[in-house]
Amino acid sequence: MTMEKHNTISSEVKLNCSPSPEEIPGVQEGDSLAVSPSESREVLRKIDFCLIPLMTFCYMLQLLDKLALSYATLLGLPQDLDLHGAQYSWCSAVFYFGYLAWSWPSSYLIVRFPTGKYLAVTVCLWGGILMCHSAVHSFGGLMAARFFLGVAEAAVAPGFALIISMFYTRKEQPLRQGSWFVGNSLANIFGGLTAYGIGKIHMPAITHWRVLFLILGSITSIYALVLYLFLPDSPDKAVFLDEKQRQIALKRTIENKTGFKDNDDFVPSQVFDALTDPQIWPLILYTVSVNFANGGLTSFTALVVKGFGFSDLKALLVQMSIGATQLVFIALTCSLATFLPSVRLGLMINNTLTATAGMVMVYQCKSRAARMGGLCLASAFVANIPLSLSLVSSNVGGFTKRSVTSSTLFIAYCVGNIAGPQFFKPSQAPRYTTGIKAALSGLALGSWFLACLLVYYVWENARRNRRHGQSQRRLSVVGDGPREDLDMSGKTDRQLPDFRYMI
């Protein structure tokens, strides 16, 4: 389809998005909505109470469904399906081919359709596909199921990041991004316990790994109905807020200076802006690098832990310590990023270096306790994911540009996760020397790319200060005070001289 045809079609279909401020009574440009501090706090509490639990539980289910394949390796799946050689690695990697294939279409659909409803439908689909895993009897069948599971799950994390940017100020975003991302840690904790419990049950009629997929898939599909009913598309459509509270919530997003949902079609110029923005490429390279580690460890952690000398079922329980470690790092990282100014990238670099040190312990140490401790520390980089999402929502202006940027980063995420498992050679079990080296190298490179991004942000902010001055403009960047004379609709961060990047 040519660009002209695309523009013609898109001009005929308006997006179902948040309205512009002129369309909301009391939130018109130049007309200040009277809001007391107590009212603002009450709106924030209601958003937190209703929105964060919805997203946290959903994200826990998503990672549980990803980890289910790793758990299934200790419940007899490779033997039942006669997997050999690199077939298991490809069953893990093909998930991200599906993720990759649907990432860009999803970036358009999230803008075009009601965000909450679109996400609920995708959750229902992925639950059904996960249940289909229990019916596979061959390598080819498992490959197909994993691919379509990746397609169904592609929208959730970028969609949640966009919802956070619509409901929270830039200063509030790191803690909230981290709050729903806690589901990642909870999945590691409860997933191992669930798989262990299933493994202990005597079931002669059906194998344990098939039961695992059936249970997790059915829970996910049922939860999709909850999301459909309660996950909002935008602040002005939040069912848990009354009319005035919706106006207050929308006003908060206007003051973000990263733009509410554009009251217009998908903007092609913002796609070009995203792909040529210097801040995007260090983030892309960082994401690819660290996901060499993420892709390999997500798929092979159970086998690596078993290689430390644990039995199959004991290895499922021991993995819970990894989730607990992640929970500590996520809580500390997101709390510090919320309450201390200009520390996000510094925290991300620290977490990545900590993870690098952990991988060194796994590679070099001989004792089981030291290697397990290193594997726990190696999970510290996971705490960077909510911060990287908050960097996008805070530092990328223009809804279309932000949507494309988020999806591009998830493409990079997919590339790293596809490559990562290929370094874990079955012939090197149980130490997987090449895989551990690849994870270690990826984490070290990730630290370097984050340092490059930090240097760019400092340089660009200084350049803008020299050219345009700072004063009130600088205050608005850290969320201390809005500048209501800016027209944010349809504009990107590079088109706004008053914009400063949060670091």
Q: Which pLDDT tens digit goes with each residue over 421-436?
A: 999 988 888 888 999 9
Query: CA 160 → CA 178, 195, 225, 243, 275, distances in Å?
Result: 11, 27, 17, 23, 22
Among 148-157, 199-208, 282-291, 383-392, the minimum mean pLDDT is found in 383-392
Cα(325)–Cα(306) distance, integer angstroms: 19
Q: Is residue 18 part of a domain?
A: no
Residue 217 amino acid letter = G
User: For 374-405, how does the pLDDT look when each residue is reduced to its tens digit (9 = 90+)?
Assistant: 999 999 999 998 788 778 877 887 777 887 88
11 domain-assigned:
no
Q: Which amino acid is at 222?
A: I
pLDDT digits (tens, 9 = 90+) for 476-486: 333 333 444 34
The 3 state secondary structure assigned to 377-425 is HHHHHHHHHHHHHHHHHHHCCCHHHHHHHHHHHHHHHHHHHHHHHHHCC
* pLDDT per residue as tens digits for the range 28-82: 444 456 777 788 889 999 999 999 999 999 999 998 988 899 899 989 899 999 9
Give pLDDT, residue 499. 83
Return the closest-CA partner of residue 76 out of 186, 219, 213: 213
Rounded Cα distance, 444 and 421, in Å: 18
Tell me the C-alpha distance between 65 and 70, whole Å. 10
Give domain status of residue 298, yes or no: yes
Residue 73 lies in a domain: yes
Q: What is the mean pLDDT of residues 113-138?
A: 94
- Lowest average pLDDT, out of 16-25, 198-207, 393-402, 418-427, goes to 16-25
User: Residue 69 falls within a domain, yes or no?
Assistant: yes
Instruction: For residue 213, give the H/E element and its range.
Output: helix 208-230
Within a 10 A sphere around the Cβ of 222, how many other Cβ atoms? 11
Beta carbons of 157 and 107 less than 8 angstroms apart: no
Asked if residue 2 is part of any domain, the answer here is: no
Structural domain tally of the chain?
1
Q: Is 402 exposed, middle or buried (0-12, 13-18, 19+ CB in 10 A)?
A: buried
pLDDT value of residue 473: 44
Instruction: Please determine, for residue 351, whether its predicted confidence score (pLDDT) is greater than 50.
Output: yes
Locate 463 and state its tokens: 């350049």
Structural domain including 432 reads 37-495
> Using CA atoms, how far apart are residues 480 and 466, in angstroms rounded to an integer?
21
Does the residue 22 lie in any domain? no
The answer as to whether 13 is a domain residue is no
Query: Residue 448: which of 289, 326, 291, 292 has the closest Cα?
Result: 289
CATH number for the domain harbouring residue 88: 1.20.1250.20
**pLDDT (mean) for 177-197:** 85
